[in-house]
Homo-oligomer: A and B are copies of this chain.
Amino acid sequence: MICQETITLRTKGRGTFEFSAEVERIISNSGIKKGLCNVFIQHTSASLILCENADPAVRKDLEAFMSHMVPDGDPLFRHTTEGPDDMPAHVRSVLTGSSLLVPVSNCCCALGTWQGIYLWEHRHAPHERHIVVTIYGD
C-alpha cells in the first residue's frame, strides 16, 4: 500500500518549526500499520531535520551554531543577487538535507522519545514550503 500527500507550511522566516503531528495525522489516515514514511521538501533554501523536541534552547543553539558556521554575507559567496542569506540558505540545506525517512510501527511514526520532525527555514523572509509525504507499507 502506498499513500502520498503534499502539504504546505508557511514559515515565519529563519528558524525551526515542528510538524511531527501533521506527519502523524497523514500516517494515521493512510491506515498503514508497518512500513516507512518519507518526508521530502521541494526547496533548496529550507531543510528537514530530526531534532530534540523537549528544550527549545536546543533549536536556538542549533541556529546560533549554524549562523556562525555559515555566516550571512560571507565574502566567499558570489551568488548574492537574492540577498546575503540566500547562498548560506543553499549551503545550510545541503548540509542538513531535504528528505527524511522514518519507520512506521503500530500505525505510528516510530520516533524516539525526544525526536521531533522539523522544517528548518533558512531564509529570513517568510516562505510557503511544499512538502511531499509518502508512506509505504502494509
A78 touches B61 (CB 8 A): yes
Which of chain B's residues have a CB closer than 8 A to the CB of A107? none
Give the number of residues in A that approach B within 8 Å (Cβ atoms): 59
Taken residue by residue from 106 to 134, chain A's Cβ proximity to chain B (1 for < 8 Å, 0 otherwise) reads as 00001111110000000000000010101
Copies per assembly? 3
Which of chain B's residues have a CB closer than 8 A to the CB of A96? 94-95
B103 touches A132 (CB 8 A): yes
Contact (A44, B51) CB under 8 Å given A2-B138, A90-B62, A99-B102 = yes
Alpha-carbon distance A132/B69, docked complex (angstroms): 32
Alpha-carbon distance A50/B44, docked complex (angstroms): 7
Given contacts A40-B101, A65-B74, 13 further A-B contacts (CB under 8 A): A2-B34, A4-B34, A36-B38, A36-B136, A40-B102, A40-B110, A43-B112, A43-B114, A45-B52, A50-B94, A58-B87, A61-B91, A68-B76
> A residues within 8 Å of B by Cβ?
2, 4, 34-36, 38, 40-45, 49-52, 55, 57-58, 60-62, 64-65, 68-70, 74, 76-79, 87, 90-91, 93-103, 105, 110-115, 130, 132, 134, 136-138
In the A-B complex, list the 9 residue pairs whose CB atoms are closest, starting with the nearest: A42-B112, A57-B79, A44-B52, A103-B132, A61-B77, A103-B134, A99-B101, A50-B98, A57-B78
